[in-house]
Amino acid sequence: DVKVTQSSRYLVKRTGEKVFLECVQDMDHENMFWYRQDPGLGLRLIYFSYDVKMKEKGDIPEGYSVSREKKERFSLILESASTNQTSMYLCASSPRVTANTEAFFGQGTRLTVV
76: contact with other proteins by CB under 8 A: no
10: contact with other proteins by CB under 8 A: no
Residue type, 56: E
Pick one of 19, 29, 48, 76: the residue that binds other proteins (CB under 8 A): 48
How do strand 64-70 and strand 56-57 relate by DSSP bridges? unpaired
CA 47 – CA 25 distance, rounded (Å): 16
Count of residues engaged in binding other proteins, rule: CB under 8 A: 25
CA distances from 51 to 67, 73, 111 (A): 11, 11, 26
114: contact with other proteins by CB under 8 A: no
Pick one of 11, 45, 60, 77: the residue that binds other proteins (CB under 8 A): 45
The number of CA neighbours under 13 Å toward the Cβ of 102 is 4
7: contact with other proteins by CB under 8 A: no
| Stretch near other proteins under the rule CB under 8 A, chosen from 13-21, 62-70, 72-80, 106-114 | 106-114
Measured from the CB of residue 16, what is the shortest distance to other proteins in angstroms? 29
- 70 by Cβ neighbours in 10 Å (0-12 / 13-18 / 19+) ranks as exposed
Interface positions with other proteins (CB under 8 A): 4, 33, 35, 40-45, 48, 56, 58, 90, 92, 97-103, 105-108
